[in-house]
Amino acid sequence: MCRDFMSTSGASSIAQKAGVAALGLGYAGGEVISTMVKAFRERRDFLFKSFGELEGLKISEPQGAFYLFIDFSSYYGIEVEGFGKIENSESLCRYFLDNAQVALVLGDASGDDSCIRISYAASLTTLEAAFERIKKALISLGPAVSV
């Protein structure tokens, strides 16, 4: 027998209480929120500047997200010995996971396979180390392909 099910979703009770508490902090969010915003801005600025200095990448500065969406497509088409061909965001993310021990999000999941999403919701120290490993992995690929 087949039944139709209707499902709905909404904010959980704990999220609702957190929202009420946040509203009570006032427009600026208080000192705690200000400190958090400053930390995220510092992380964003570090990654934006660092990736912006790498050859072959296209990047836009995020205005409200906690991640960068970087176009790595100039590295697509490169054949890597022992790995295979970098064909898309999935294979490049797998390459970074295997060779830099950094997990990234496929651009395809956000609608643009030429890009990879890099979250900066981690400590600055962690992001600095991850950037250096990604940079080293990119250098080992050789120069980006001219598009």
> pTM for this structure?
0.78
Q: Which residues of 60-78 are buried (b: 16+ CB within 10 A; e: fewer)?
A: eeeeeeebbbbbbbbbbeb
**Which position has the higher pLDDT, 109 or 93?**
93
24 has pLDDT over 70: no
19 has pLDDT over 90: no
Residue 64 is predicted with a pLDDT of 81
pLDDT in tens, 60-103: 988 888 999 999 999 999 999 999 999 999 999 999 999 999 99
Q: What structural domains and CATH numbers belong to the chain?
A: 39-141 (3.90.1150.10)
Apex 71 CA angle, 125 and 61, nearest 5: 60
Integer CA distances (angstroms), 54 to 15, 51, 71, 136, in order = 39, 5, 12, 11
Burial class (CB in 10 A: 0-12, 13-18, 19+), 145: middle
145 has pLDDT over 90: no
